[in-house]
Chain A
Amino acid sequence: GAVVSQHPSRVICKSGTSVKIECRSLDFQATTMFWYRQFPKQSLMLMATSNEGSKATYEQGVEKDKFLINHASLTLSTLTVTSAHPEDSSFYICSARLGADEKLFFGSGTQLSVL
């Protein structure tokens, strides 16, 4: 299947700092990418839909100024957690669709720990 690369896999930061997570589609172009968040022993919660060349669409309850999404090219979307706090500690996962194929291909996830 298609490969989605996510970096970094793990990050530890101090409270108040910003963290950027990258999501790349390695062998295909993705006009749409999705960002999910997952707490321990819970399901994936969709945060936002990232559209290449336009603003991201955020789910209800997700602060767009807190979680900045940039989809500058057809192979790269970034999620920046601004002024991170301990409650932002979570597993963040990106995903992308291959053309008209409906199934999502997922990155390996980023474990964010805010001290």
Chain B
Amino acid sequence: GESVGLHLPTLSVQEGDNSIINCAYSNSASDYFIWYKQESGKGPQFIIDIRSNMDKRQGQRVTVLLNKTVKHLSLQIAATQPGDSAVYFCADSLWTDKLIFGTGTRLQVFP
């Protein structure tokens, strides 16, 4: 992940719509990628992960897409709900090494 910046980008979506959160990573050798959700004043919560030998993985209402060619990761949330409002971080690592976090995106869901 690229951990830079003082201002979190914000994505505002209407309840029920789909959300797409994007992330760029810098280490082309990274082989493991993960998305976390962080609510205010709390620690990050695991959402979904993917390995470099895959380009798509689905969970419950969430899908992660990996494009290794352009070093891009995305998180898709279907039928976004108010409870999905949080900051979302991507992270990457190499061979079970330390996780490096991206900048983060704030998701705001409005009725």
Give the B-binding residues of A (Cβ under 8 A).
1, 4, 6, 34, 36, 41-46, 49, 91, 93, 95, 97, 100, 102-109, 111
**B: number of interface residues (CB 8 Å):** 26
B31 nearest in chain A by CB position = A102
Give the A-binding residues of B (Cβ under 8 A).
1, 3, 5-8, 32, 34, 36, 41-46, 49, 89, 93, 96, 98-104
Contact indicator B43/A102 (Cβ below 8 Å): no
- SS of A interface (majority): strand
Interfacial chain B residues near A6, Cβ < 8 Å: 43
Contact indicator B43/A109 (Cβ below 8 Å): yes
Specify which of A41, A43, A45, A108 is in contact with B43 (CB 8 Å cutoff).
A108
Specify which of B3, B34, B41, B96 is in contact with A43 (CB 8 Å cutoff).
B3
Specify which of B42, B93, B100, B103 is in contact with A108 (CB 8 Å cutoff).
B42
